């Protein structure tokens, strides 16, 4: 009987080791899943960032065009105003 008791005592550290290994395997699996999820999120955010850069570039272009159109409008307004003044001067 003493041999059975010795075997039981000797197996306890192995059982604890086995349990720790199982926990580590589970942890590694969860970490891999988290990493895959983070990689997908990173790709999604990179696409979103690229889209935002494109929208910003389009906005800058639109702002530049708007500024140019406002300048042209002011020039035309000034010229029309000058022409109206000239027409009024002719009617006198």
Coil vs helix vs strand at 92: coil
pLDDT tens for 17-65 read 999 999 999 999 999 999 999 999 999 999 999 999 999 999 999 999 9
Question: Which pLDDT value is given to residue 13?
Answer: 84
Q: Tell me what pLDDT residue 11 has.
A: 74
* Any domain includes 72: no
Triad 25, 44, 29: Cα angle to 5°: 5
- pLDDT surpasses 60 at 73: yes
DSSP annotation of 1 reads: -
Residue 37 domain boundaries: 1-65
Confirm whether 56 is domain-assigned. yes
Q: How far apart are CA 32 and CA 26, in angstroms?
A: 10
* Predicted TM-score of the model (pTM): 0.57
Note whether residue 45 is domain-resident. yes
pLDDT score, position 1: 44
Question: DSSP letters of 18-50?
Answer: HHHHHHHHHHHHHHHHHHHHHHHHHHHHHHHHH
How many domains does one find in the chain?
A: 1
Statement: residue 12 has pLDDT above 90? no
Considering the domain boundaries, does residue 77 fall inside one? no
Return the pLDDT at 85: 92
In a domain, 90, yes or no: no
Alpha-carbon distance 69 to 81, whole Å?
A: 18
Q: What is Dmax (Cα atoms) for the chain?
A: 135
């Amino acid at each position: 009987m003493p041999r059975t008791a010795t075997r039981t005592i000797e197996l306890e550290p192995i059982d604890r080791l086995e349990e720790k290994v199982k926990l580590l395997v589970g942890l590694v699996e969860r970490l891999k899943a988290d990493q895959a999820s983070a990689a997908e999120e990173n790709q999604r955010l990179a696409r979103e960032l690229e889209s935002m850069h494109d929208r910003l570039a389009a906005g800058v272009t639109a702002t530049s065009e708007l500024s140019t159109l406002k300048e042209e409008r002011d020039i035309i307004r000034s010229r029309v105003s000058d022409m109206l003044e000239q027409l009024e001067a002719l009617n006198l």
